[in-house]
Chains A and B, each alone.
Chain A
Amino acid sequence: MKRILSRLSGPARRVLTLAASRNFKEQTTILIIDDDESLVKNVYQVLLERKGYRVLTAKSGFLGLEIIGRELRSPDIILVDCSMPDMDGEEFLLELKDKHPKIFSESKVIGLTAYDSRSSAFLRIKQLAFDCREKPFDIDGILQVVSDYLGVSSNEAYPQITRGRRSLGGSS
């Protein structure tokens, strides 16, 4: 691709560069599980897709597990709301760990909660998941949640995926 691009100039180069970048970014898949479907689809998905991520959404833990089972590769990040009816974040994490241990270890599963980061609910999820974060209050906060775990800045154009479990040391 680099060789082709070096031979091109003008609008053709710009179009191909954009296409290449989009194609690369589509590899980064984020699954969001939250019962507030409207918020997820109209806020989280809109913002993250604008950044070029592939965003999948599920309005319950059960549907989230279904999507995970259908995907060919593990999502890079799974954002799961900790307070949901039927199956809450903690139950989802236990199910994922039990039924899809490979995905559980490959994906970075991040709990999202409106509870305070010092609360016991928050700390329980943090122990079980890759990490736990307080629900963001602004656009940067949402992008930051994702970029922190991809090892890129929230403004970076080409997110580089870093796999494996590591601690980011604290929450937002």
Chain B
Amino acid sequence: MILQKFLEENRQEILLLSEEKTKNLAGLLATTDELRLGLPLFYDQLIKVLEQKLSANPPTEMLSAAAAHGRESLRLGYSLSHVVHSYGAMCQAITELATMKNANISSYEFNILNGCLDVAIAAAVSEFQFRSNEATEEREVKHLGFLVHELRSALSGAAVAHEMIKAGLVGTGGSTSSVLGANLVRMRDLIDRSLSEVRMRADADLFIEKFRLCDLFDQIIVTARMDADKKKQIIATEIDKKIEIEADRQFVVSAVANLVQNAIKYTKSNGKIWLRANASGERVFIEIEDECGGLDTAKISSLFEPYVQENADRSGLGLGLAIARRAIHLSQGTITVRNSPGVGCVFVIEIPQRIKPVPSTKLAVPGKDSVQPNFSKKV
């Protein structure tokens, strides 16, 4: 077998060339011995297959090595494309070197090589997908658990406060009443956020309504202040009260509320959070400025990816920024971030003042179709 001999004689050169090609694909991603050894392991098994002239049923070792390669790639944050291309890189390296050295490899041998590559890629991809689905499922369950925990916590506070008022232990307009109100608002916000998440995932139809941006800010600040007060933070606003926008209110609320919650979470105690809004031409700019101490420049590009948490504080699930980006994307706008190292950062939302209707867009009939529950009655 010429290919077998060729592979044995040029082992080091081919593996080096494959690694170089794979490195170019992976960029700055980390690597481990397990991942580095994955392809040489496949290479040696390929030689074994050629030696034994096995055209079908590749050895179990080849399958399990490829599966381990897929698993390790996922763990290190590689994409599915990396997994496939790493095997492709080896194929390229073999072909390039064979052409360069005029190795007379038969098409039968190339068929065996391709067959082995197909099997290895399939095993690596299957494992990668399986583990990836498993991890997604785990995160979904965690997310649901977090939501239920938050709702249950708010319900517990509201139920006891309600019972105290009902039993006449406290007055109806006092601080216990505020506890009831605050917990109801918390539950409403959690439900709103979940609804927008569901809508963003399942049906991205827009319900366009006209509303004043300052009213939307007021709604968000009511809840945000409760959390900011706990850390003695100040929330300051600077908004042009005349700004009216035509957009999907729930999506805009979801984006701004998530960014404000994020700002509260990462701003130090006694710090300040700014909410600004102004309009220029047909565009509206909303800024959320915090005092988080600045972002790690290496992590800025992945900041809006789901389950990424910039800070050591891991409360929550790291979904806020991903949800905000999706909500603004659906609102035909963009989110960017300006970093001030050592100080903080400013998230800037830019959306059109009037969203352009797309075929599936629905116009909300005020008071009928509005997705915003009416909580105007004070408790």
Contacts and interface: CB of A to CB of B under 8 A. Distances in A.
Contact of A114 (B153, B167, B313, B315): B153
Interface string B153-181: 10111011101100101100011101100
A46 B164 contact: yes
Contact of B149 (A41, A83, A141): A83
Contact of A138 (B160, B178, B265): B160
Interface string A46-62: 11001000000001000
B230 interface: yes
Interface centre among A41, A114, A136, A138 (most CB of B within 10 A): A114
A36 B157 contact: yes
Contacts of B313: 85-86
B152 A135 contact: yes
Interface in A21-50: 35-39, 41-43, 46-47, 50
A9 interface: no
B145 interface: yes
A139 interface: yes
Given A39-B179, A114-B149, A114-B152, A142 B160 contact: yes
B152 A38 contact: no
Interface residues of B, number: 28
**Main SS at interface, chain B:** helix
A42 B175 contact: yes
B153 A139 contact: no
Contacts of B178: 38, 42
A36 B178 CA distance: 13
Interface string B180-193: 00110000000000
Nearest to A86: B313
B124 to A, nearest CB: 32
Nearest to A35: B230
A51 B155 CA distance: 24
A47 B164 contact: yes
B159 A138 contact: yes
A137 B159 contact: yes
B20 interface: no
Nearest to A135: B156
A1 to B, nearest CB: 30
Contacts of B161: 39, 42-43
A167 interface: no
B153 A135 contact: yes
B296 interface: no
Nearest to A36: B157
B156 A46 contact: no
Contacts, number: 73
Contacts of A113: 149
Contacts of B140: none
Interface residues of A, number: 27
Nearest to A115: B149
Contact of B156 (A47, A59, A83, A137): A137
Given A114-B150, A135-B152, A136-B156, A38 B164 contact: no
Contacts of B226: 38
Interface string A112-150: 011100010000000000000001111101100000000
Contacts of A37: 230
A141 B155 CA distance: 14
B153 A138 contact: no
A83 B179 CA distance: 19
A137 B183 CA distance: 13
Contacts of B150: 114
B156 to A, nearest CB: 4
B157 A39 contact: yes
B181 to A, nearest CB: 10
A161 to B, nearest CB: 25
B149 A50 contact: no
A115 B271 CA distance: 31
B176 A59 contact: no
Contact of B315 (A39, A42, A85, A142): A85
24 contacts: A36-B157, A36-B230, A38-B175, A39-B183, A41-B175, A42-B170, A42-B175, A43-B160, A43-B179, A46-B176, A47-B164, A83-B153, A113-B149, A114-B149, A114-B150, A114-B156, A115-B145, A135-B156, A137-B155, A137-B160, A138-B160, A138-B163, A139-B163, A139-B167
Interface of A: 35-39, 41-43, 46-47, 50, 59, 83, 85-86, 88, 113-115, 119, 135-139, 141-142
Given A43-B157, A85-B315, 20 more contacts: A38-B175, A39-B157, A39-B161, A41-B175, A42-B161, A43-B160, A46-B170, A47-B160, A47-B164, A47-B169, A59-B230, A83-B153, A85-B265, A113-B149, A114-B150, A114-B152, A135-B152, A139-B163, A139-B169, A141-B160
Top-9 shortest CB links A-B: A114-B153, A114-B152, A135-B156, A42-B175, A137-B159, A39-B157, A42-B176, A114-B149, A42-B179
